[in-house]
């Protein structure tokens, strides 16, 4: 009987320890430098097909850094491999990588670099910057929603964000088939970054 009580007490104590070592992820992210975790970050895009439906695709190779501090200079830099485009159809992906669209061999990367980060209640709310894609650079504004932040089970600290924007592919010289494929591209990013 004593052994059962001891075992139960030990188990309860272990469970409580485990719970406290993983924080409830509702805190405001700590200011500082973060590196994007590619394994938990997704960049998706949606584009109209023939005006009848929306095609969803993603890019699978992303890297970047965030420096977030409401009281100091903040910076966001994200780089995406255009050849990593993935629309769940290999033949279409080959076409997208080719000269008709991304021309990945000539323009292997697209890059976003922030010029200004706007904060609200300590969290980024809007990020203004420039997107370089297909040899052209244009200003872009990301609308940002914080998802969560806190310590992870491996001793690190993470912060997550949801960001969206809309760009026109024609602005970046990707004009092929305007009648069949929409010009507006909705971009959605789910970012998880690890504090450095």
Partner 1 sequence: MNMYLELILPGLVIPFGLSVFLFSMTRRHPVLQWGLPLIWLPSYIWMIGWPVPPQEANEWLWLLVVLSTGINFGLKQRPQQAALAQISLLGLALIAITWPVLIHQPGLVLALELLAVLCAAVIFFFNASFSLAATPSLALAISSAGLALVTALGGSVLVGQLAGALASILGAYALYEVYRRFAEQSTGVIQLAPVVQVYFALLLIARVYAEIPLFSALMLLIAPLIGLMRGGRYAALGSAVMVAIAFTWLLTTADSSSYY
Smallest distance, partner 1 to C-beta of residue 87, A: 8
Of 21-29, 105-113, 120-128, 144-152, the window that binds partner 1 (rule: CB under 8 A) is: 105-113
Position 108 contacts partner 1 (CB under 8 A): yes
Q: Which residues in 85-121 are b (16+ Cβ under 10 Å) and which e?
A: bebeeeeebebbbeeebbbbeebeebebbbeebebee
Residue 32 gets the label, from left (phi > 0), alpha (psi -120 to 50) or beta, of: left
Position 180 contacts partner 1 (CB under 8 A): yes
Of 4-12, 98-106, 151-159, 185-193, the window that binds partner 1 (rule: CB under 8 A) is: 98-106
Residues 115 and 94: their CA atoms lie apart, in Å, by 33
Instruction: Rank residues 38 and 98 by Cβ distance to partner 1 and give the closer one.
Output: 98
Q: Which residues bind partner 1 (CB under 8 A)?
A: 89-92, 94-95, 98-100, 103, 105-108, 135, 176-180
């Amino acid at each position: 009987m004593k052994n059962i009580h001891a075992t139960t007490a030990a188990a309860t104590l272990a469970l409580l320890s485990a719970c406290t070592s993983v924080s409830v992820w509702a805190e405001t992210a700590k200011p500082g430098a973060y590196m994007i975790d590619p394994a938990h970050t997704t960049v998706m895009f949606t584009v109209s097909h023939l005006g009848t439906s929306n095609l969803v695709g993603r890019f699978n190779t992303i890297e970047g850094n965030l420096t977030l501090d409401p009281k100091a200079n903040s910076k966001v830099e994200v780089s995406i491999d255009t050849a990593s485009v993935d629309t769940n159809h290999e033949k279409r992906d080959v076409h997208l990588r080719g000269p008709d669209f991304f021309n990945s061999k000539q323009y292997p990367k697209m890059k976003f670099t922030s010029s200004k980060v706007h904060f609200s209640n300590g969290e980024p709310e809007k990020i203004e910057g420039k997107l370089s894609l297909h040899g052209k650079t244009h200003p872009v504004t990301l609308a940002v929603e914080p998802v969560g932040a806190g310590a992870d089970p491996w001793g690190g600290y993470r912060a997550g964000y949801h960001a969206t924007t809309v760009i026109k592919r024609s602005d970046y010289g990707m004009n092929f088939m305007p009648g069949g494929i929409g010009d507006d591209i909705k971009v959605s990013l789910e970012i998880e970054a690890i504090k450095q």
